[in-house]
Each structure stands twice: as C-alpha cells, then as structure tokens.
Structure 1
C-alpha cells in the first residue's frame, strides 16, 4: 500500500504507475487509431474530387478508395474497441487496489476515527467515491487522451490545407477549452458537497436500519421518516446544484460550436469560390471540423466525470491522509502464556483536552499467565474501556499496559490480534457458511479443524443436524443467542489465542443454555489468561482473581477466595447481597 497522501496526483501515480505496460499498450492503440482516423477524410476528399468528374471519373480508383476507406474505418473501430477494453482493465485494476488499500487503511485507524463516522458513511466513502473513480479511470484515458490526440491531429491537418484557416481553428480551440476549463472548475466544489451529502444519507439509513426494532417498538417511525426526508432533501438539493454547474460545460460547448461551424463553412465557401481549394478539399475542411467537434464534445462529457472524479480523489486523499493514533510496533509477543500488567494507567477519550474527564485513573494490577480475572463494576465504571486497552483499540494516555512483559505499544498489531481474542455479547454472524463464519473466510483452515472446534464447545449435535455440515449456509436469525455465543467460542478455539476477553457471555441466556455455555467457557479458558466482564457473580464463580472498578478506579483487586472470606471486601458484600439487589447494584 502506498504511503497515505492527500494529493490527488500522488494517488493517481501510486495506482496507475504499476500498470505502465498496460498504459503503454493503451497509448499505442490510441495513437494508431487516431492516425488512421485522421487519414480517412483524405480518402473522402480524393473520392469527392474524382467523383466530380462525372463520366470521366476513374471507376477503378473510386472502387479502391471506397474499399480502403471501409477497411480502415473497420480497423479504427477495432482499435478503439481494444483501447476501450484495455482502458477498462487499467481502470478497474487500479481502483480495485485502491478500494482494498482504502479499506485496510480505515481498519487500521483507532476507534476515535470510527466513532466520528457511521458505518454507512464509511461504505459510501469506500465504495461510492471509488466507484466514481473506476468509471473515470476506465473511460477517461481512452476518451480524453484519444480525443486530445485527434484534436491535435485535426489542427495539424488544417494547417496543411491552409495556414490562415489553421490559425483561426487554433484560436477557436484555445478559447473553447479555456472557457470550458473555467466552467469546469466551478463544478468541483458543488460535486464534493454532493458526495458528502450522499455519505450523510447512507449513514442515516444505516443507523436507522440497525435500530429498526427499537424504532418500531417506540413508535418513532414518523420522527425518523421526517429526519430521512430532511437528509434526502439536502442530498437532492446538492445534486441539482452540482448538476447545474456541470451542465454549464455542455451549454458553453454547444454555443461555441454553432459559431465554429458557421466560420468554417464561410471559409470553405469563400476559398472554393476564389478557386483556392477544390470541392474535395472544401469537404475535407468540413470533415476535419467535425473531428474538432467530436474530441471537444468528448472532453465536454468527460469533464463532467472529471469533476466527480476530482471531488472523489480529494475525499479519497483525505481518508488516506488520516493517521492512526496507534503507531505500528516492531516487537512480537513472546511464545507461550502471557501475563498481563497495568502500570499506573490513566486514560481519557480526549487526550488533547486537559479538562476532559479521565475514564480510567491510576489503574495498577498484574494478572499471572494462565489465570482468569473477573471484572466487576457498575455501568460506566470503565470495565469495557479497560479491556479495549488490552486489545489495543486505544492506547493509555499515561502509564503502560504490558503483555508477556512487552508494552502493547511496541507490539505489532498483527501479533497482538493473533494472540488476543475478544468475545462480545453481540456476536456478529455473516450471511455465509458455518465454516466461513468461524474462519472469517480463511480457506486455508481445514474443515476437520472447524468441525473439531464445534465439537469442543458442545455443538456436535447441532453440526450433525446440518445438511451440508460445516459448508451449510447460516440463514439470518436461524441461531439462538446461546448458539451464537458458542459459535463465537469456536472461533476463538480456531484462533488459539494466549489471552481471551469475554464481555458477559451469559447475560441473555436461560439457565439450561447458560450451563452449557459455562462448560464450553471452562474448556475455552483452560491454560489461557482471561478477563471476564461480569454482571452476574455466577459468571466469575471460578475466576482466580476479582477486580472491582468504581468511577474508573480500582476499588479492589485480589484472589477471589481471599476476597470472598474478607467480610469488608466489596466482593464479599456482593456475595451476601440478595439476588434482586445484586442485579440492581451491578446494573
């Protein structure tokens, strides 16, 4: 992946540079096709001059000219078709690489960037903007570069016929292109605003679809519909405004060419009447004028795409220029079990704001390798934030988090992601097969390993009931909450990490399913370091240590058995509390 840059030209060079041989082939096809296209009117001019002789015309010569014209015209069309094909391959290859690199770059950013943008906006930025570029890349080189060659060649032909006509055409082309360029620039900013309005629209729709159950349950459909109409109205207004600005290019072009054709016809008639040119040459001038119109017309159409592509290039460049607050480390985590240590860790979500509230304050504890800590605390006490520092979705504001004695900021993200696994309450399942859901589409993992992981977490009977085994597609909503959690455990089994973070895996389950999940959890955690966020004490009944958080501080940390025997400990108080009161305290 190229170094991120906000420069559109650097983005273009980075993705078109590796395709230089295809670009050279495209240039050769365009040069040859353009040369033949410029020669065709010469054949027509000779044909007209000979045909004018009437009965004295050379029929054999006319036949040869007609045959040559048809053959070359077919050849030009074949070359233009080949150039279109090569141009499309160049465009799609370049933008597919850009789309993949842009996705990887966004995934590498820390959570601060992702919290500022909705998933729908991200999708529009990656797919919408890059699709606009793919259309631009696949057509612009063929049409615009080819049009520029044809335009230059036609001007040269005018000079060969008559220097004064050539000079007039040169002035006409320069004025036309200059005015079109000025009009084009006026459309870039409205087009950029249109793309941003489109991203907001996609983001709004995605958020409402994600919360559709809540919207329906609360009867908020009309409210959200009014909000949708508001963002849709903004997008519509931006679209109309940008279309008006872009259409000015076409309007200017039409008006200028009316004057251009009047001028070239007047010059042709005057030169023919004066005997300075033949009828065939007069016809030739008209043909070359149409060759002037055709490439400028192509430029007119493509400049509108260029406006869209220019806005998309700027937005893509802005995304590539975003820098993560999680710089890549250089160390690998040591093999074997991993101990975990927090050393005087403080954390705020707004480190640049000195007045921002600290979410975690002076967190200091050590968890030996292969042992489990149960993490307790009220909502908002900092439990989830603490685990996010372990998995390095954020870095500490001050202090350090170490795994196996290595500061997480010095560890490569690839090594960290391989050795640290997270299982959340909300398990994300894909519209894909069972094996793809477990392996995240890694085809190198054998089916036998996938099946073994399912057996390990107690889903052997469920697997036997599937018609195609691990290759059975998972239908949306076909799994219970317990089955989804067990599938998440099987994912972790396949990954075989050294440290596991569980975010209350049994909070939404019935007692029977919870018992099955508890057994699977014991097998999953065996021999591994683990952090278990709990809202119910049953979840951490077998934990080695208990860590109680309150308002971002460690209220208590120690061996579970010792804390349970200490009547003054927070943990002992929770154990003696009534079940209903306990759930209220921990809610």
Structure 2
C-alpha cells in the first residue's frame, strides 16, 4: 500500500515517471487496425433493411434541405415582387408540407438508428461477455475488472456511434452536399465557384485535428478503465476492509484524485481540440458569406441576378457549409468511433489459453454412479481415478494470456519473463474412490496440481488423465460436470442462498437443496434465518461467517454430486467449532468420491488413503501416514513442524462425531 503514495502514483501535483508515460503512450499512439472497418460491415448487414430505410429517410431529408431555398426563391421572385398572393400562399403551403415530410423522415432516421444501435450494443456486449467467459483462469488473474467492464460499457457504446451516427451522418452529408451544390450551380455558377474556392481551407485543419482526437480518445478510454478498476477494487467488501484496517483512506483519496486529475486533463484537451474545428468553420463561413453577399449584391444591382435568387443562394450557402463542416469533422468523428470498435475487437481477438478441441468427446463419466452411490459397497465404485504422467508446468506470462490495456500495472512495469517451472516431471495416481492428500511447504505446487485437474490450466508437458482419458480430449462441460472443487476462499454471489446453491444444479428441487444443506451441517443455521433460503448473503457472502460460507460451498458441492472432489481444505483458518462442523461435512462430501485434498489438518492426513509429499514441484514421498512417519523423511519433518502441535485429543474432539462408513450424497433425482 505504501507504494501507492510513491512518486508518480500520488496526487495531481506529482510527476509521472518517464517509463510510465512511455508505456501509456505506446497504447494511446496505437494506430487503428486497417481491417477494423471491414470487420464492422457484418454487423451492419444484419440490419440491412433498417439500414436501407435509414438511408432512404436520410436521402429524403437531404433533398428537402436543397429544395427549400429554391421554393423560397419562387416565393420572392414569382409571388412577393409581382404581388401575386395566390402564388405566395401555394408556395408557403408547399414549404409547410416539406417541413412535415422532413420531420417524418427525421423520426424514421431516429427509429432506425435506435434499432440498429441498441441491437449492435446488445450483440457486441453479449459476444464480448461470452468470449471473456471462455478465457482461462490465468486471464482473470491478470486483467483488471474495471478495464473489462469499460470495454462492455463505454467502448461498446462508442462502437454503436460508428455504425449509426456515422452511417446517417455520412449519407446525409454527402447527399446534402451534392444536392445543394447542384442547386447553387443551377442558380449562379459564378457565386458557386467563389464559394467552392474556400472549401479546401476546411479540410487541412480537419485532418490535423482528427489525428489529435484519435490519440486523446484512446488515452481517455484507457484512463477511464484504470479509474474504474480502482473503484471496483476499493468498493468491494475486501478492498474497503483492507483500506480501513490499514488506515489508508487519505492515501487512497490522493491516488484516486491523481487518476481523476489525469482523466480531467486529457478530457479537457479533447474538448478543446474537438471544439476548435467549429470555430475555424464559423470564421470561414462568415468570410464566405461576406464574399457571396458582395458578389451577389453587385450582380443583383447590375440586374444579372434576381433578388430572390440572391436570397436563395445565401440560404443554400448556409446549408452548404453545414455539410462541409460535417464532412471536415467526419474523419475525426470516424476515428474517434473506430477507436471504440478497435478496443472491442482487441478483446474478441484474444484467444483463450484453454480451448476445446474440435473432436473433443463428451464422455459421461458419471453414468450409473447415482444408482450405486447409496450403498456402502457401490459408493464410488465408478468414480474415476486421476493420473498425472510426467507433468511439467509453468504459469503463463501476461503477454500470453491478457492485454496490456486491461492491466494498468503491466503498462507501468513490464513483466520479466521467466522459464522457471512450478511443476517438473511430476507423476502420481489418485486411486478411484480414495482420498489422496497433498502436503508440503508453502509454494511447493500443491494448489497448481489441483488447478490442473479441472483444466483451469494445461500442463506445459506431460498429461493429466481422468478415468484413462486425457482431459484435453474431453469436452470442457463433461469435465466440469465430473470434477467438483471447493477452494479455501469460498465465493458466493451477491444473491440469495437459494440462488447460490442452485448454481450447482438449477433444476434442483426445494427438498434437494435442504438435503444438501443438512448433509453439509448448515441447514439449522439457514432455517434460523428469517428468510431461510431466500436470505441475501451480501457481497461475496460477507454477511455470513467464514465457517458458514464454507459449509454453503460444501452444500453446493453435494448438490452437484461429482464423482471427483478437489479440495483446498477449508478448515485451516477457522475456529475449532466451525472446523469440527466442516470436518463432519467433509466426511460426507468425500465418502466414495475420488478425492484430491490439500491437507492443512492432521485429521485429514491421518484418514487419507494416500499422502503425497510435494516439494519444489515434485513428488518427494508417497504412502500412508504411518508409512511416511516410519521412513523418517521429509514428511516426518513436516509432521513435527506443521502437524505435531495438533494434539490427538483436539483432533478427536473436532471429528468425534464423524459418520462411520461411506455416506450417501443427494442424487440428481432426489434419492
């Protein structure tokens, strides 16, 4: 936390280190991918009828824009000057009719834009969300939540502008420009030429401003994502608690003020540059209007030009420079909008580290288990074994799994790559229906082993097999249905207990939920809540105690009823009463299952059918508790330093009421 107040990371007055600036500029100076425009077209094609209607309505509006001044000329020259009231009335009615048609066309444009734009937002959001869900666990350990949320919100909305606003603006601008120019040439080619001479003066500043705005827009989006990430981290319960416990509220406020200050500065530059072009355009428009009045006035005095024609020309000129203004800013608007699409495609182009093979088999490894699990003889008979064969593994780098723009720290401090292996040539077999305990010093690789079983990661070499099947050859869904995992930090969604439990099996009945809670020894607690299963657990389950959260997680596992259980044992940091309850619940959860458990308690390792001693990514010893103690090796040393203080009497007290023999797990059919 102290680092947060250091140089370059503090309040608005602090300087930013050069390498930070360089890292961020490498992102903000990125050019838009040449293929971005081509990739947008398929999204527009899905709304081709709405697009066609939008173009038609825009064309009608452009035609009316050019026709209005011509009617006005007729009103003056053929009605007012000859004092013909009938012509004036008829032409005024025509003008009113054109305005009504124009209003209807604008309504159609807005309707089409809304349909296309919101449909595009829905499609992009759902596509990005689904794609992010497919990313490996490594991706989520690197990417910042706020940066991802920013892609789904502000960037997707910016992408909508690229298709809707840009489409209608481009069509309207080009058609209006052509029609107005045609009308001006028809009325007076001399004045038209004089007006056209001024147009190139619009285009040069527009091009320069567009480049500047593109960079500022990308930088604003990146800074917004960083600010959102900080708010996500500090506003959840864990982050808020950490800040309060360490008394860092002032430093956090200063850090946020620094980030918000940078957003303010960049956004202010963007506003300044964005409004510079209209100022230039207004000056050029005023000069051109004076030129037309001067030239047109002299032609009118000479009798070469009618008075109504002069008025129409001035009106058309005003309507000409509107499209010219839009045309000059169209490039900058397009670049700003395309940056959003580019950032969305950047996420969609990120390939998941864990991918299902095209020929993956959907193997039902759980068949017939529910029919036999209720009998002591048959429980776990079909639970598959787990086999690691010469497995080596290193954790992927940020470059392999994420994007620098999704991880602000990666911009400021590029990661040093390392080829060090977490696991090296590791081989073992966890027998079917048996409990295998993993013990070893911190950082030995135990958690990494448990991550490889449900294929949260793939080994760098070697293979992991379940029931004789290489897990890379199985569909991810069948694998996840087979393996149940409970981590040490059980996560609960900010929802009801019912929703959190049903997440394991949405079709579960009320009685099945209750049975699973009884088996996890948490039902009496839930039943005492005023709302029972409909009790809202709070952000990440913080309204529940640690022991209650773990038992809810176990109930969720029991409801899923997988043949394989992977468990980072959840009793290490609990009080003795909660530990005893969870140990009893674990007895039910593990009975008859193929179990791979990271052991923190003596009670677990003593009851294990096999103990694997892990050190430096290798299996150093294996055997039962008595065998390993007798050998006097690494396990014996670990036992005397880590487990010996757990007195047998206290262990018995914690597990004295353990069920005897295999216990039934609630089946999917309610048995």
Same fold (TM over 0.5): yes
Q: Distance in 1 between matches of 2:392 and 2:553?
A: 31
CA distance change for structure 1 residues 305 and 344 in 2, over 3 Å: closer, same or farther?
A: same
Instruction: State the superposition RMSD in angstroms.
Output: 3.1
Alignment equivalent of 1:162, drawn from 156, 171, 188:
188
Normalising to structure 1: TM-score of the pair?
A: 0.88
Q: Distance in 2 between matches of 1:288 and 1:441?
A: 67
Shift of 1:377: 1.6
Q: Does the alignment pair 1:404 with 2:467?
A: yes
Q: Which residue of 2 aligns with 1:272?
A: 300
Shift of 1:443: 6.6
Q: Which moved more, 1:404-413 or 1:447-456?
A: 447-456
Alignment equivalent of 2:126, drawn from 91, 100, 107:
100
Shift of 1:241: 3.3
Helix, strand or coil: the match of 2:387?
strand
Contact 1:432 1:474 survives alignment (8 Å):
yes
Contact 1:37 1:73 survives alignment (8 Å):
no
Q: Which moved more, 1:362-371 or 1:474-483?
A: 474-483
Q: Distance in 2 between matches of 1:21 and 1:342?
A: 56
Q: Distance in 2 between matches of 1:441 and 1:293?
A: 62
Q: Does the alignment pair 1:338 with 2:338?
A: no
Shift of 1:502: 1.6
Shift of 1:117: 2.7
Q: Does the alignment pair 1:413 with 2:476?
A: yes
Contact 2:602 2:643 survives alignment (8 Å):
no
Q: Does the alignment pair 1:389 with 2:452?
A: yes
How many equivalent residue pairs? 576
Shift of 1:69: 1.6
Q: Distance in 1 between matches of 2:505 and 2:173?
A: 46
Q: Distance in 2 between matches of 1:578 and 1:500?
A: 24
Q: Which residue of 1 aligns with 2:617?
A: 552
Q: Distance in 2 between matches of 1:537 and 1:6?
A: 61
5+ unaligned residues in a row in structure 1: which ranges? none
Q: Which residue of 2 aligns with 1:488?
A: 553
Q: Which whole-Å deviations, capped at 9, do the CAs of 1:34-87 have from their partners, x for residues lacking one?
A: 223332323222222244236x323x3322222222222122112212211211
Q: Which residue of 2 aligns with 1:79?
A: 105
Contact 1:8 1:314 survives alignment (8 Å):
yes
CA distance change for structure 1 residues 75 and 437 in 2, over 3 Å: closer, same or farther?
A: farther
Normalising to structure 2: TM-score of the pair?
A: 0.78
Q: Does the alignment pair 1:348 with 2:348?
A: no
Contact 1:459 1:486 survives alignment (8 Å):
yes
Q: Which residue of 2 aligns with 1:310?
A: 338
Q: Distance in 1 between matches of 2:197 and 2:592?
A: 82
CA distance change for structure 1 residues 553 and 442 in 2, over 3 Å: closer, same or farther?
A: closer
Helix, strand or coil: the match of 1:393?
coil
Contact 1:188 1:308 survives alignment (8 Å):
yes
Q: Which whole-Å deviations, capped at 9, do the CAs of 1:79-131 have from their partners, x for residues lacking one?
A: 21221121122112112211222222233233444333322222223323223
Q: Which residue of 2 aligns with 1:149?
A: 175
Q: Which residue of 2 aligns with 1:125?
A: 151
Q: Which residue of 2 aligns with 1:503?
A: 568
Q: Distance in 2 between matches of 1:491 and 1:268?
A: 83
5+ unaligned residues in a row in structure 2: which ranges? 1-32, 367-382, 401-415, 648-671
Q: Does the alignment pair 1:65 with 2:128?
A: no
Q: Which moved more, 1:21-30 or 1:408-417?
A: 408-417
CA distance change for structure 1 residues 453 and 20 in 2, over 3 Å: closer, same or farther?
A: farther
Q: Distance in 2 between matches of 1:403 and 1:508?
A: 31
Q: Which moved more, 1:325-334 or 1:78-87?
A: 325-334
Q: Distance in 1 between matches of 2:183 and 2:472?
A: 66
Contact 2:194 2:292 survives alignment (8 Å):
no
Alignment equivalent of 2:255, drawn from 224, 227, 232:
227
Alignment equivalent of 2:630, drawn from 566, 571, 574:
566
Shift of 1:196: 1.8
Shift of 1:575: 5.2
Q: Which whole-Å deviations, capped at 9, do the CAs of 1:209-230 have from their partners, x for residues lacking one?
A: 4533233322333444443333
CA distance change for structure 1 residues 468 and 227 in 2, over 3 Å: closer, same or farther?
A: closer
Shift of 1:469: 5.0
Helix, strand or coil: the match of 1:186?
helix
Contact 2:393 2:461 survives alignment (8 Å):
yes
Helix, strand or coil: the match of 1:250?
helix
